[in-house]
Amino acid sequence: MQDDQFPLRCLPADVMKNVLRTMDRDQLFSYSLISRATKRNVMDLKMKLRFFGIFIDSKLQLTVTILPDNYRIQLTFDRNRTVKWNPAENEPLVLDTPRIVEVKCSKDYGEAFTGNTVMENSRMTVREYILHLFDIFHHPLITSIRFAEGSDRFDNRFIRRMVEGLTVNRTIFHQLSLDICYHHLMIRTTIHPKTVLLNSDLEPVESLQKLVIQNTEDVVFHSKLFTPEDSIPFRLDDVLINSSENIHMYCTVSSDTDLNRFLKLWMKGSNPRLKYMEVGWTLGPEKDQLVIMNGIRHRVMEEDERRERPYPMKIEKRTVVASEGAFVIRRYNGVEATVSFQRPQFMELAVWD
């Protein structure tokens, strides 16, 4: 559709802006692609994003969540081509300029995506779609890139070109072997996120250690498996080599003795960058605080004591609180930390320097 043939262009600026505000967000996105002028019209609405995600499995998708009503737009690139691609029989797949882009929407975060606007031969690259969304929604970064089964069909050089130079807050590896996570994604795509989330088995160990030794702000181990044999273990060596500022371990299998040993080693100087660690468990017996704190010099916080600060992962709006009953320990250099069991099935270590 030509810009000069689009009827909204004939309206006064203030009237046109009011009309645009009544349009569904996916319609606004399509409108913004018509010309530089229509793109500027959408930019003038000053809409903001809550979330910008890239999802890579057998498909390549972009999803944005728009403030304040959590309206979502999803772009899927060359679905039929990517889903049918057999990486064992073909060269790695490159989608620099996709032939077909499907646009779907969801008017509420809890609703499924509906509708299906199809754009063909747009001549825009995937990277240009990303930058276009950045522009019209005044957004500076990619919230997360999620790699899952099937992502190995895409050429890593293509993924690198797609996000090169852009800020990536979080990289998520979902049920992928760690050698794939490290060698094929961290190294060959050269993505350096602030947060790495592993929803995978922690094997092989050598690849895990190469991942967690990265100087990230956060590393998250998250198991959604429901048997003790399959859940993520709290392996002391894995945590000691971790150089992240914040370590989050959910649904882990851990021993009181290993938690005790970790606290003692931290007091002696291990994990110098660590500011916060939480270890959660949903399986097995309750933790024995006396065993975990055994042999550790500490004091117990009194009724009128309270320390708090923002939770390190900004996606969760809560605070880290240490209050009555928490244990105060001290590192060899005098820096204090609190060990708290106030959240059910969690141990929290917060460093207060």
- The reported pLDDT for the residue numbered 226 is 46
Within-domain flag for 298: no
Chain mean pLDDT for the chain = 84
Q: The domain containing residue 32 runs over which residues?
A: 1-46
94 sits in which H/E element: none
Within-domain flag for 42: yes
Within-domain flag for 190: no
Within-domain flag for 151: no
- The reported pLDDT for the residue numbered 353 is 83
Contact 285, 254 (CB under 8 A): no
- CA distances to 123, 258, 306 from 267, rounded to whole Å, are 58, 14, 22
pLDDT at position 233 over 80: no
Within-domain flag for 37: yes
Distance from C-alpha of 233 to C-alpha of 254, rounded to nearest angstrom = 6
Q: How many domains does the chain have?
A: 1
- The reported pLDDT for the residue numbered 199 is 67
pLDDT at position 4 over 50: no
pLDDT at position 107 over 90: no
**Percentage of residues of the chain with pLDDT beyond 90:** 44
Contact 251, 281 (CB under 8 A): yes
Within-domain flag for 13: yes
Q: Which two tokens stand for residue 141?
A: 């970064």
The average pLDDT across 214-224 equals 73
Within-domain flag for 208: no
Q: What is the pTM of this model?
A: 0.75
Within-domain flag for 188: no
Contact 97, 125 (CB under 8 A): yes
Distance from C-alpha of 207 to C-alpha of 217, rounded to nearest angstrom = 19
- The reported pLDDT for the residue numbered 2 is 45
Round to the nearest angstrom and report the end-to-end CA distance of the chain: 59
**Most confident among 76-80, 114-118, 148-152, 340-344 (mean pLDDT):** 76-80
Amino acid at 353: D
- CA distances to 130, 142, 210, 341 from 214, rounded to whole Å, are 26, 19, 7, 28
Task: Give the pLDDT band of residue 1 (cuts 50, 70, 90).
Answer: very low
**Most confident among 15-24, 79-88, 190-199, 211-220 (mean pLDDT):** 79-88
Lowest mean pLDDT among 15-29, 170-184, 240-254, 258-272: 170-184
Lookup result for tokens 């050429």: 155
Q: In this predicted model, which residue has the larger pLDDT, 175 or 99?
A: 99
pLDDT at position 348 over 50: yes
